[in-house]
Amino acid sequence: MARPYWSGHIQISLVSFGVKLFVATEARSDIHFHQISRKTGERVRHQKVLASAVDNAPDEAADPVGKEDIVKGYEYQKGQYITIEPSELDHLRVPSKHTMEVSQFVDEEDLDPEYFEKPYFVVPENDVQAEAFATVRKALIDTKKVALSKIAFAGREHVVAIKPAGSDTHPGMMAYTMRYAAELRNPEEYFRDVKKVTVDADSLALAKELIKRKAGKFDPSKFVDGYEVALKELVEAKIQHAPIPRDEEFKPKRAQVINLMDALRKSVAGKSADAEQEAAPKRAAERKAATKKGPTLVKSAPKSSHAAKAAHKRKSA
């Protein structure tokens, strides 16, 4: 198992038990780029240097500053800094560095998706903590609640939502770091200019039917990063010195007055103007390919001996 990202306790009133948090996501891209000099083809590396060295001699290579000589600094006046040592940050008085104290339980529906940030797997610290872990997990399931707490890591304190996850055979919980309200822009600034319209009852009924027909259970494995696929095609083509695949020139459609009712009816019936337009060139290409191949020759099945004799008699007559 991977190394835990955070270890500490979940505390609910007088109940406390040890847990470990593991990062639940990972970067899966197979394509990684480096910065290369266009002139020489060499890899470009970044080095940290003194600002004064660059200001005084911008055309000369400055001596790099070692990692051990770099500390954090806060500019309290123009050009005036106080330095913060790593050990001072390690000893900041933040209780949530070690304990997630639950402050509230809420309904999951009360948590808007835009507040969620990053998921973590939560498991008991050891077998001794499993009983309390399982009891709290089952209580959250039965009450359909989510625990809200705070946790400090990566240079800040996060609001965190803790909810049951896994199955009866593989029980676990998830912790989601959340954004603060001040980090989200005011939606009214973007929604206030949206034109208010009266929804037609018949159009609404067709829209609901369309949603019903296209509804299904969420299967994340069906979704693939199309950009990653296209990037692999580009890299492979350049390695093989093959023609580079290019996107077709985008031609915006002319503004058309669309009859919503007609569009909904055709969509429910399984037809769309775009689908018809996309299918036409494909059908034409298939016909062209069939013409190039020429007629298909079908061999006749061998005649039976009885049929052969009958044919011979007709020929003799």
CB atoms within 10 A of CB 158: 20
**Is residue 74 one of the residues assigned to a domain?**
no
- Coil, strand or helix: which one is 40? coil
The CATH number that applies at residue 123 is 2.40.290.10
pLDDT score recorded for residue 294: 41
> Of 121, 132, 124, whose CA–CA distance to 174 is shortest?
121
pTM of this structure: 0.74
Q: Which residues pair with 107 in a beta bridge?
A: 145
Its domain, for residue 159, covers 6-23+94-183
**Is residue 136 one of the residues assigned to a domain?**
yes
**Is residue 268 one of the residues assigned to a domain?**
no
**Is residue 298 one of the residues assigned to a domain?**
no
Summarize pLDDT for 202-221 with one digit per residue, the tens: 999 999 999 999 999 999 88
Give the amino acid at 155. Answer: G
Contacts of 124 (CB under 8 A, 6+ apart): 17, 18, 19, 20, 130, 133
> What residue spans of 13-154 are helical by DSSP H?
51-56, 86-90, 130-143
Strands 145-153 and 156-166: antiparallel
**Is residue 175 one of the residues assigned to a domain?**
yes
Task: Count how many domains the chain has.
Answer: 1
**Is residue 240 one of the residues assigned to a domain?**
no
**Is residue 302 one of the residues assigned to a domain?**
no
Q: Give the residue ranges of the chain where pLDDT is below 50.
A: 272-274, 287-288, 290-317
CA 137 to chain CA mean position, Å: 27
CA distance 175 to 160: 6
**Is residue 308 one of the residues assigned to a domain?**
no
C-beta separation of 208 from 267 below 8 A:
no
DSSP string, 264-312: HHHHHTT--HHHHHHHHHHHHHHHHHHHHH-PPP-PPPPPPHHHHHHHH
pLDDT score recorded for residue 296: 38
